Structure 1
Amino acid sequence: MFSALINRYQSLAPERRQFFVHAALAALFRVFAAGAAFLLSVVAARVLGAEQSGLFFLGLSLAILLGTLCLLGMDNALLRFIGQSHVSGDSTQTNQVFTNAYVAVLPTSTLAAIAVFLSSPWLADSVFNKPEATATLQYFAFAIPFISLFFLNGYALQATRNVIASVCSMQLGVTVLTLPALLYLPHYQTIPLSSSAAVLYVIASAIVVISGLRMWFKVADRKVSFDNLRMPSLWQSAPNLWLISATGQAIPWASVVIVGYFASSEEVAFFSAAQRTSMLISFMLMVVNFVAAPRFSALYNAGEFEQLKRLAQLSTRMMIAFSFPVLALVLIWPDAIMSLFGAEFSQSGQLLVILAIGQTINVMTGSVGFLLTMCGHEKDMKNVTVFAGIFTVTLMLVLTSLWGILGAAVAVSVGVSTQNLLALSKVKQRLGFWPIG
């Protein structure tokens, strides 16, 4: 049987063999990243306790929300344009796109950090009704530029198919550095505070940004290039790509912020832990998207539409096969899974089930978002994400005010499902095939 699998693998086309190798590498390191992120949630909950970990998750969610908004669409732009130039060997365009991205993102994220730092007392007291969160929010303000930049470095490395470096830059690195520091926190602070944990996260994120830049510039022909700061194709696509990315990435973090407005610190911790755990359902989706997104762009740009279809459908089948066993575990033992965060978290098993259902629909529709954005149909995806984002936030405000964190979970699950089903119909309309075929 093993030899038959090897023969089957060797009979595949070189590009498809490379796809499987990169997918396997991405899966391996994404497993580490997802496991580390899950472990970080568990450690934060156990070290800080329900109340302080709620403040930590609130500050972290706000920082990541603003950090992703400050990417200005350059994350998807890097995947699309550097993905194309990497295949064609155009290092000039690669350098220009990377420089343009930094010129846009660095000052924007810095201004956002200053605004959050100055407004933290007002946010903590008037918006979240948690005056004790002031110091935590102020410290997390310093993380905003670093979050934007380590994501930017990661997407650039992803576009050049540098799988390991990209995963380390975007997720794994900051988590791995924060974890041991957080575990050590009780040794020098009798009562661990969320503000101290926030400082540790800021330091870790700064180190990851520096490491990501070193990995990017270690390639000989990469440099900072200010020769073309008016790239029409890049800047024309950026607004649509920004709305897509901002809405898609911001909703999970914005949901925690909205919960923080209506609920107690403990309930913020319960909701955040359940949401982070439900993301394990879509783990394989993130893995496949990670590898497939720049390939979608290259295949579409080369006119290889049949290969594009086969890659999209193969990707969806892989995602479904790997995700359903995780869903089964969540449906059978939700309370036991949530109790890993602490005994008091076991009561939030119902939240995990609701959020997991939304993530399952996300997986079953396939890589619809990247198919549209990487193939030049970013306006369609923008319309879908903006509608779904407004719908989700509105639903969250209504249902959270009525049913608390249970309503928030229902709103997020319905919103994720709505966005992906609408995008699925657009893929069929624009590209002529179903990714779930």
Structure 2
Amino acid sequence: MISQIVHRIQSMEPTRRQFLFHAALAALFRVFSAAAAFLLSVVAARVLGAEQSGLFFLGMSLAILLGTLCLFGMENALLRFIGHAGEQDNADLTNQVFTNALLAVLPTSVIVGGVTYLASPWLALNVFSKPEATVSLRYFALAIPFISLFFLNGYALQATRRVIASVCSMQLGVTLLALPAFLLLNHYQSNPMAESASVLYVIASGLVVLSGLWLWFREPDHRIDTSDRKMPALWSAAPNLWLISATSQAIPWASVVIVGLFVTSEEVAYFSAAQRTSLLISFMLMVINFVAAPRFSALFKAGKLDELKRLAQFSTRLMIVFSIPVLAAVLIWPDTIMTLFGREFSASGQLLVILAVGQTINVMTGSVGFLLTMCGYERDMRNITLFAGMLTVTLILIFTSLWGIVGAALAVSIGMSTQNILAVHKVEKRLGFWPIG
């Protein structure tokens, strides 16, 4: 059996074999990342309890939402333009793209973080009706620039196909630093609070930013290059890429924030835990996108559409195969899985099932978002994500007010499914093939 698998891999064309190698490497470290993030949620829930962990998840969700918005879509721009530069061995273009992105994101994230810090008492009292959240919101406001920068570093490293460095420069690095600190909270505080956990998250984020910058600039060819601040191709694509990433990446975090307007801190914790667990369904999609995005850009730029089609369809089949067992486990044992967060979380198994269905549709449609954005059709993806985002937010507001967190989970699944189904149709129209083939 093993020899047959090895033979099949050896008989593959070199590009597909290289893709599988990088996918396996990314999968290995993404497994660590997903497991660590999941474990961090479990530890936070168990150490802090439902009420305090709800405040912690609320603050973290707001910080990641705002930190993502401050990226200006530069994460996709880095993948696309540094991907092009890498194929041409153009170090100057790589440095110019990274410098432009850094100089756009850094001041914006600092300003947004400062405004959020000052507005935290007002947000806690008037927006979330949780005055006890003020201190943790202030600490998470300090994390906003760090969140923007560690994502920026990670995507730049991803664009240069440095898989391990990229994964470690994003959430995995933060989680690995924060997790042992959370475990020790019980030893220093008899009644651990969300504020203490927030401080630990801020410190971990800052350390990951420093390590990510070191990993980027330790390459001899990498430097700050301000010689071309205009870059019309980059700046013309950036607004559309920003709207795409802001909508698609922010919705999962915004949903937690919106839910916080209607329900108790405990219910915020239940919803956040179920949502984070449902992401395990789309784990392989994240792995494939991580490896495939720069390749989509390079193949389209080279005019190799047949190879692009084969890679897209092969990657979709691969992610479906690996996602089915996870889906089966979620459908069979949802309540048992949720009890990992604590006994009081067992009632949120229904949320997990609803969110898992949406993630399954996300996986089965393939890497449609990256196919459109990496191939220059970011306007199409912008329109789709804006429509799906507005639909999702509208449904969350309506459904949560009617049915609570169950309604919120249903709204998120409907919005996600709508976005991916529309994107599949647009890929077929623009690129001439179905990624589900």
- Whether the TM-score (by the shorter chain) exceeds 0.5 is yes
User: What is the alpha-carbon distance in structure 1 between the residues aligned to residue 360 and residue 195 of structure 2?
Assistant: 35
Task: Indicate whether 1:262 and 2:262 are aligned.
Answer: yes
Letter in 2 for 1:323: S
User: What is the alpha-carbon distance in structure 2 between the residues aligned to residue 75 and residue 356 of structure 1?
Assistant: 26
User: What is the alpha-carbon distance in structure 2 between the residues aligned to residue 343 and residue 5 of structure 1?
Assistant: 43
CA displacement, residues 5-35 of structure 1 (integer Å, 9 cap, x when unaligned)? 2222122222111100000000000000000
Q: After TM superposition, give the deviation of residue 65 of structure 1 in Å.
A: 0.2
The aligned runs of 1:154-169 (5 Å cut-off) are 154-169=154-169
CA displacement, residues 340-392 of structure 1 (integer Å, 9 cap, x when unaligned)? 00000000000000000000000000000000000000000000000000010
SS of 1:376's equivalent? coil
User: What is the alpha-carbon distance in structure 1 between the residues aligned to residue 11 and residue 404 of structure 2?
Assistant: 54
Counterpart residue number, 2:302: 302
Q: After TM superposition, give the deviation of residue 408 of structure 1 in Å.
A: 0.2
Name the % identity.
Answer: 73
Counterpart residue number, 1:364: 364
CA displacement, residues 173-211 of structure 1 (integer Å, 9 cap, x when unaligned)? 000000000111111112101011000000000000000
Structure-2-length-normalised TM-score: 1.00
The aligned runs of 1:4-403 (5 Å cut-off) are 4-403=4-403
Paired residues, number: 437
Higher mean alpha-carbon deviation, 186-195 vs 232-241, is at: 186-195
User: What is the alpha-carbon distance in structure 1 between the residues aligned to residue 304 and residue 170 of structure 2?
Assistant: 30
CA displacement, residues 262-296 of structure 1 (integer Å, 9 cap, x when unaligned)? 00000000000000000000000000000000000
SS of 2:22's equivalent? helix
Q: After TM superposition, give the deviation of residue 4 of structure 1 in Å.
A: 2.1
Query: Following superposition, which runs of at least 4 residues in structure 1 exceed 4 angstroms of deviation?
Result: none
Q: After TM superposition, give the deviation of residue 432 of structure 1 in Å.
A: 0.3
SS of 1:71's equivalent? coil
Letter in 1 for 2:301: N
User: What is the alpha-carbon distance in structure 1 between the residues aligned to residue 115 and residue 77 of structure 2?
Assistant: 26
User: What is the alpha-carbon distance in structure 1 between the residues aligned to residue 80 and residue 209 of structure 2?
Assistant: 22
Letter in 1 for 2:307: Q
Letter in 2 for 1:197: A
Q: After TM superposition, give the deviation of residue 218 of structure 1 in Å.
A: 1.2
SS of 2:226's equivalent? coil
Letter in 1 for 2:105: V
Letter in 2 for 1:206: G
User: What is the alpha-carbon distance in structure 2 between the residues aligned to residue 217 and residue 351 of structure 1?
Assistant: 43
User: What is the alpha-carbon distance in structure 2 between the residues aligned to residue 118 and residue 47 of structure 1?
Assistant: 29
User: What is the alpha-carbon distance in structure 1 between the residues aligned to residue 200 and residue 286 of structure 2?
Assistant: 27
Letter in 1 for 2:133: A
User: What is the alpha-carbon distance in structure 2 between the residues aligned to residue 233 and residue 73 of structure 1?
Assistant: 14
SS of 1:427's equivalent? helix
User: What is the alpha-carbon distance in structure 1 between the residues aligned to residue 7 and residue 133 of structure 2?
Assistant: 59
SS of 1:221's equivalent? coil
User: What is the alpha-carbon distance in structure 2 between the residues aligned to residue 401 and residue 189 of structure 1?
Assistant: 37
User: What is the alpha-carbon distance in structure 2 between the residues aligned to residue 419 and residue 7 of structure 1?
Assistant: 39
Q: CA RMSD in A?
A: 0.5
CA displacement, residues 326-350 of structure 1 (integer Å, 9 cap, x when unaligned)? 0000000000000000000000000
User: What is the alpha-carbon distance in structure 2 between the residues aligned to residue 280 and residue 178 of structure 1?
Assistant: 20
Letter in 2 for 1:354: I
Letter in 1 for 2:413: S
User: What is the alpha-carbon distance in structure 2 between the residues aligned to residue 189 and residue 139 of structure 1?
Assistant: 18
User: What is the alpha-carbon distance in structure 2 between the residues aligned to residue 201 and residue 149 of structure 1?
Assistant: 15
Counterpart residue number, 1:420: 420
Letter in 2 for 1:194: A
User: What is the alpha-carbon distance in structure 1 between the residues aligned to residue 402 and residue 335 of structure 2?
Assistant: 24
SS of 1:366's equivalent? coil
Structure-1-length-normalised TM-score: 1.00
User: What is the alpha-carbon distance in structure 2 between the residues aligned to residue 370 and residue 43 of structure 1?
Assistant: 33
